[in-house]
């Protein structure tokens, strides 16, 4: 193996700079070589939760002074960090997991450093949204590769249903984050608010031991979650197909879906879709897409 320190250190990391460092979303080995190098170089590491970051550092054999910067003290803490940066220190900022600022704190600190004329440098790395999108396949073809990052939907049922109704019209894919205690409600709300054949990628426990990324229709998702009691435990990122994925071909109705499911149990996806289309009059392409989605969710 080549000397990783020289790979990561072959770039200058000026003093008086705020480094925004992405950290793993599960598997500690996803910490990049540059992230490791800069965390080791930092005079202090500002973080969302000192215990959490302390654990990460001890796993990679680093010890650095930690400063808590979370959503409740970000403004005041940012002021103190800006003073330290102005005095020539290197400060790294990490959130609990993934990329800071993406459904995580970090924005105020970045603004404060920039307003003080201090350099802010990103060290890219893991993010649950990008990881899920990278395996979303053709869902990204709808809307010519565009996607909308939504983050967490509103927690109140009415506001959540309204948000889904608005998002339903997007021609391209959209990405949601969801916590374990709300995943069942959110999957039910998606099933209720979107056409039954709309495809959904469920990124569960990415990079962890029980990682899975099944693709299914929104109509199937609540039953998938309920099928195993442990499923609701875990972290979830969802990629919902854009309206262009199914709208123009007309979603197969419940009868067509039932016939397809029966045939799929016995036949390859293409053959099952063709026969289901002949029997029910539904669109072959739509049925084939559905068949592939169901196979992916097996
Ligand atoms: N900043 C993070 C990022 O870049 O992905 C996101 C932080 S947000 C507070 C936490 C949410 O991200 C979780 O509730 C979950 O929806 C998603 N998430 C984080 N880690 C994940 C994982 N390993 N698998 C699936 N989703 C994950």
- N-term to C-term CA, the chain: 38
Q: Which of 21, 52, 177, 187 to mutate to test the pocket of ligand 1 (most atoms within 8 A of CB)?
A: 177
What pLDDT does residue 107 have?
Answer: 93
What pLDDT does residue 297 have?
Answer: 45
Question: What does each of the 298 residues of the chain score in pLDDT, given as a tens digit?
Answer: 567 777 787 789 999 999 999 999 999 999 999 999 999 999 999 999 999 999 999 999 999 999 999 888 988 999 999 999 999 999 999 999 999 999 999 999 999 999 999 999 999 999 999 999 999 998 887 777 899 999 999 999 999 999 999 999 999 999 999 999 999 999 999 999 999 999 999 999 999 999 999 999 999 999 999 999 999 999 999 999 999 876 545 567 888 888 999 999 999 999 999 999 888 878 887 888 888 877 764 4
Read off the tokens for 9: 């250190």
**CB atoms inside a 10 Å sphere around CB 297:** 19
What's the predicted TM-score (pTM) here? 0.83
Q: Please report which helix (H) or strand (E) contains residue 157, including its range.
A: helix 157-167
Q: Is 52 in the pocket of ligand 1 (CB under 6 A)?
A: no
Q: Which of 24, 47, 97 to mutate to test the pocket of ligand 1 (most atoms within 8 A of CB)?
A: 97
What pLDDT does residue 142 have?
Answer: 74
Rounded CA gap, 154 and 44, in Å?
Answer: 35
Q: Is 179 in the pocket of ligand 1 (CB under 6 A)?
A: yes
- What atom in ligand 1 is closest to the CA of residue 177? 16
- What atom in ligand 1 is closest to the CA of residue 100? 1
Rounded CA gap, 194 and 200, in Å?
Answer: 11
What pLDDT does residue 18 have?
Answer: 98
């Amino acid at each position: 193996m080549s000397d990783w320190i020289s790979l990561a250190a072959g770039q200058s990391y000026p003093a008086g700079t705020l480094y925004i460092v992405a950290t793993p979303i599960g598997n500690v080995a996803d910490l990049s070589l540059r992230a490791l190098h800069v965390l080791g170089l930092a005079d202090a590491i500002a973080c969302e939760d000192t215990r959490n970051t302390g654990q990460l550092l001890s796993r990679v054999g680093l010890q650095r002074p930690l400063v808590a910067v979370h959503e409740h003290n970000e403004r005041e803490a940012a002021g103190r960090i800006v003073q330290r940066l102005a005095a020539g220190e290197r400060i790294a900022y990490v959130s609990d997991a993934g990329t800071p600022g993406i459904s995580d704190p970090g924005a105020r600190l970045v603004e404060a450093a920039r307003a003080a004329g201090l350099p802010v440098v990103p060290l890219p790395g893991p993010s649950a949204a990008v990881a899920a999108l990278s395996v979303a396949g053709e869902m990204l073809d709808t809307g010519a590769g565009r996607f909308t990052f939504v983050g967490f939907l509103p927690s109140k049922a009415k506001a959540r249903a309204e948000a889904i109704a608005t998002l339903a019209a997007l021609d391209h894919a959209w990405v949601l984050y969801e916590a374990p205690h709300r995943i069942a409600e959110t999957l039910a709300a998606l099933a209720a608010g979107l056409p039954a054949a709309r495809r959904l990628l469920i990124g569960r426990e990415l990079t962890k031991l029980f990682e899975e990324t099944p693709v299914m229709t929104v109509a199937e998702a609540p039953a998938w979650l309920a099928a195993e009691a442990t499923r609701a435990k875990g972290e979830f990122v969802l990629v919902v197909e854009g309206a262009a994925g199914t709208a123009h071909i007309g979603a197969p109705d419940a009868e067509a879906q039932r016939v397809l499911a029966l045939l799929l149990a016995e036949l390859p996806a293409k053959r099952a879709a063709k026969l289901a289309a002949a029997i029910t009059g539904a669109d072959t392409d739509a049925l084939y897409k559905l068949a592939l989605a169901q196979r992916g969710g097996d």
